[in-house]
Every structure is written in C-alpha cells, then in structure tokens.
Chains A and B, each alone.
Chain A
Amino acid sequence: KAGVTQTPRYLIKTRGQQVTLSCSPISGHRSVSWYQQTPGQGLQFLFEYFSETQRNKGNFPGRFSGRQFSNSRSEMNVSTLELGDSALYLCASSPGSETQYFGPGTRLLVL
C-alpha cells in the first residue's frame, strides 16, 4: 500500500496570507490527524477527522481549520498567517483510533 502523502512538501508564504495543505491517507484508513511540529513546542496536536467529522481538536486558534472528504483525503487551512506558524505540518492516518502512520510533512515558512 502507498503511504501517507502530503502536498506540497515545501511552502513559503508571507504574513497575513492563508494556506491550504493536503493529505492523502493510506487506502482504507478513515482517520486523519494533523500535527504542528516546531523545535520549541515539539509535536502539537491540531485536530483529527474520522469519516468526515472532526473527532478531536487541539488547543489552536480558530485560524487553523480542517476538513475531510468522503474519500478520506483531508485538508487543513491556516488563515491570516503569522511568523509563528512556520513549522512542519504532519498528517497521520489510522484505520480507527490507534496506531497512526505519518506522512513526510509540509514545511511551511512564513516571512
């Protein structure tokens, strides 16, 4: 099976812009979770979607949002970008609620 794929792999934006990141889970996996990884804060949970419904949410401002489509593909959006949003954004998929398999991440740089 193909692994989790994320697009784009690298992205440069300026403050105030918005960005949309995409994640394609492993075939058959219905759960998709998003994480933000920074050197200072480590891996921080953003949200989880299961069968198109948000199942869990982390402690991030409303500028961070996501959605999941009927084919389990997921997107996350960050509006009004801030310098502090520069990070590696990781997507992980799971068949249900346990072991997660991560994609390579999208590295976002906000200037």
Chain B
Amino acid sequence: GESVGLHLPTLSVQEGDNSIINCAYSNSASDYFIWYKQESGKGPQFIIDIRSNMDKRQGQRVTVLLNKTVKHLSLQIAATQPGDSAVYFCAEKTSYDKVIFGPGTSLSVIP
C-alpha cells in the first residue's frame, strides 16, 4: 500500500525534555500536512497542521517544521510529559486527494 516516511521507529525521551519526531513525505505536489497522535485503543487525534506555503507553525507545546526542498516534516514537542506517550503519524495530502499516512513513530516518555 501507499505510505510516507520511514519504517516505524521508536523514540524514548526523559520527562521534561524536548522531543523531535521526523517524517519524510513522498509527493512533492502535496500541499497540506498533518500530525496525528494515537494513544492505545483510540483513533488518531489531530495535533497540528501546516500548509506548503509555510515552513513553521506553532501550537501549544508543539511546533511543526516543513522543509519542502528535502520533503521533510518534523514535530517538536516541548517539555515532554508522560501523557505524550503515543504513536505519532505524519500525513500528506494534495487538494481534494486522499490523505496518505506515514508508518508512525512510537514515543515513550520516561518519568
């Protein structure tokens, strides 16, 4: 099937540290990118999005960076908390086309 990003990696961080989750996307025509968080037993939850005409967007404790030159997306989580432990997915989309999800990154926060 279609996918974007690397094979599912795992990231472990200490509580209070900053986390950086990376994603490589596949379609240079994609113009909309989203990060989702999925906790065990739940559906993905929207975190933050960014359009291709931007290279940075900030939310509450989260920042998304977009580098279109190398087709790379990152999610930065400041002051990581135990509740941030989850699988994080990046997703890409072109206008009126389907959303393509990456394989996900498992974030584990060490108290």
Q: How many residues of A contact B (CB 8 A)?
A: 24
Q: Which residues of B contact A98 (CB under 8 A)?
A: 32, 49, 93
Known: A42-B103, A55-B96, A59-B2. A102 touches B45 (CB 8 A): yes
**Which residues of A have CB within 8 Å of B102?**
42
Task: Determine the main DSSP class of B at the interface with A.
Answer: loop
Least CB distance from B107 to A in Å reads 16
Contact check: which of B43, B46, B96 meets A99 at CB < 8 Å? B46
Q: Knowing A44-B1, A45-B98, A97-B96 are in contact, say whether A102-B43 is a contact too (CB < 8 A).
A: yes
Binary CB contact string for chain B from 49 to 79 against chain A (1 if under 8 A, 0 otherwise): 1000000000000000000000000000000
In the docked arrangement, what's the CA distance between A106 and B70, Å?
37
The interface of chain B, by Cβ under 8 A from chain A, is 1-3, 8, 32, 34, 36, 41-46, 49, 89, 93, 95-104
Interface residues of A (CB under 8 A from B): 4, 33, 35, 41-45, 48, 55-56, 58-59, 90, 92, 97-105
